[in-house]
């Protein structure tokens, strides 16, 4: 239930026009325990099997840990976090 409450507090900017977005197009929350500490905008390139980070906001010290887990789930061979 805590995760659901935390996720409901994350606004979805996907339906807003580009100039009105506060964050990226599809932004995922960074959860540490049961706390929402930041946001990250990943993009998975299926052709190159690369997980790219387009942007990150808030406490991004735990982004690498979260991206490693997401990359394993997606089957990514590489993580490109040069935008951080």
Mean pLDDT of the chain: 77
Q: What is the DSSP string of 17-68?
A: -GGG-SS-SS-EEEEETTEEEEEEEEEEETTTTEEEEEEEEE--TTHHHHHH
pTM metric for this prediction:
0.69
pLDDT range class, residue 4, cuts 50, 70, 90: very low
What token pair was written down for 62?
A: 């735990």
pLDDT at 69: 86
Helix (H) or strand (E) holding 69: helix 63-74
pLDDT range class, residue 28, cuts 50, 70, 90: confident
DSSP class of residue 1? Answer: -
- Residue 71, pLDDT above cutoff 50: yes
């Amino acid at each position: 239930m805590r995760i659901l409450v935390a996720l409901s507090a994350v606004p979805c900017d996907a339906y807003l026009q580009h100039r009105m977005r506060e964050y990226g197009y599809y932004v995922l929350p960074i959860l540490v325990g049961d706390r929402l500490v930041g946001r990250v905008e990943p993009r998975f390139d299926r052709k190159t099997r690369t997980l790219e980070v387009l942007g990150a906001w808030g406490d991004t010290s735990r982004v690498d840990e979260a991206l490693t887990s997401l990359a394993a789930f997606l089957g990514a061979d590489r993580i490109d976090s040069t935008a951080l």
